[in-house]
Amino acid sequence: MKIIRSPAAMTAWSEGLRRAGVTIGFVPTMGALHEGHRTLIREARLQCDALVVSIFVNPTQFGPQEDLAKYPRPISHDRAICRQEGVDVCFEPTAEAMYPAGFQTTVTVPAVARRWEGEARPHHFSGVATVVTKLFGMVRPHRALFGQKDFQQSVLVQQLVKDLNLGVDIVVRPTVREQDGLAMSSRNIYLSPDERARAVTLYKSLQAGAEVIKVGDTDAKAVRSVMDQVVTRESTITTDYLAVCDPRTLEPVSFVTSRVVLLGAIRLGSVRLIDNLLVNAPRRAS
Ligand code: PAF
């Protein structure tokens, strides 16, 4: 496996392969790789001839009060996973190479980024959209894989690629979960044992909402209220948002008449967790 740090060297490697007709798969990450990333890497390995994984903790998507400084950076562990999964290039640019002196162009994010994470984390999605655009420009992949865990990010990236004609095929893969249902995330390591035991509450709340829909209640208020009850039973958890939304626009719906996404964000102590579930409205008997 090659480790490339310079953006120019990354592009030169990819351009050489593109000219030879090789399809390049790409999994962008911030490192601290877990089973969720491994699943994306395996899928990309199957779908493409050559495979690049980027590891870059992108400073511009963190708010001033967020965890940029303490974000886990286990680079030897990450490289070992990449080697095990047959990655061809681990792209590890420095912050100086990504944002050199004089850098000034950023991507303004679309409406799908306005609510939910966009409200809770101002500038986050502009940072994500900008770095993803830059990484695509450097890696020149044919296809890039993202996890459904960051649902709003995946919708944003699809919109970005379409609006800016980036010419990358975006594949979104289902969330990988721990045995109890907690969505895998690099930030789960921040949870104390007690918080870890309670962290599954968010998934339980989404599941409870999905059950309401499955038994035929189409009123989004009723779905939300059941989701809310599950979280408020845990006095140490605070809700950032629980929502029933259109999965394309991420606008809240009043009634569940087709596929919806249940979105949630909670706080346990200083840890913030997000999760989501896609749910189909049950077919009406005719
Ligand atoms: O999902 C992530 O890990 C990051 O937001 C991404 C897409 C690598 C951009 O920094």
For residue 286, is pLDDT > 80? Answer: no
CA dihedral 221, 183, 166, 116 (to 10 degrees): 30
β pairing state of 237-245 and 260-268:
antiparallel
Please provide residue 171's backbone torsions phi and psi, each rounded to the nearest 5 degrees.
-115, 130
- Same domain for 134 and 259, yes or no, is no
- Same domain for 55 and 119, yes or no, is yes
- Same domain for 130 and 196, yes or no, is no
Q: What is the pTM of this model?
A: 0.97
What is the pLDDT at residue 282?
Answer: 87
Tell me whether residue 178 is in a domain: no
- Same domain for 100 and 150, yes or no, is yes
- Same domain for 164 and 233, yes or no, is no
- Same domain for 115 and 212, yes or no, is no
Return d(Cα 148, Cα 164) in angstroms, integer. Answer: 22
The strand pairing partners of 275, in sequence order, are 264
- Same domain for 255 and 228, yes or no, is yes
Return d(Cα 26, Cα 95) in angstroms, integer. Answer: 20
- Same domain for 33 and 158, yes or no, is yes
Ligand 1 pocket, residue 17 CB under 6 Å: no
Task: Read off the CATH number of the domain in which 257 is found.
Answer: 3.30.1300.10
Q: Can you give the residue range of the structural domain that contains 90?
A: 2-173
Please provide residue 124's backbone torsions phi and psi, each rounded to the nearest 5 degrees.
-55, -50
123 has catalytic annotation: no
- Give the model confidence (pLDDT) of 25-55 as tens digits: 999 999 999 999 999 999 999 999 999 999 9
Question: What one-letter code names the amino acid at 162?
Answer: K
- Same domain for 160 and 210, yes or no, is no
- Same domain for 23 and 44, yes or no, is yes
Closest ligand 1 atom number to CA of residue 132: 9
- Which residue's alpha carbon is nearest to atom 3 within ligand 1? 29
The strand pairing partners of 147, in sequence order, are 173
- Which residue's alpha carbon is nearest to atom 5 within ligand 1? 128
Return d(Cα 152, Cα 115) in angstroms, integer. Answer: 9
Task: Out of 58, 175, 186, 274, give the residue to mutate to test ligand 1, the one with the largest number of ligand atoms within 8 Å of its CB.
Answer: 58
Ligand 1 pocket, residue 58 CB under 6 Å: yes
Rounded to the nearest angstrom, the distance between the alpha carbon of 30 and the centre of ligand 1 is 6
Query: Residue 156's closest CA among 136, 176, 126?
Result: 126
Ligand 1 pocket, residue 250 CB under 6 Å: no
Rounded to the nearest angstrom, the distance between the alpha carbon of 142 and the centre of ligand 1 is 18
Tell me whether residue 153 is in a domain: yes
- Give the model confidence (pLDDT) of 252-283 as tens digits: 999 999 999 999 999 999 999 999 999 999 87
- Same domain for 80 and 151, yes or no, is yes
Tell me whether residue 195 is in a domain: yes
Q: Which residues contact 241 (CB under 8 A, 6 or more apart)?
A: 116, 119, 120, 263, 264, 265
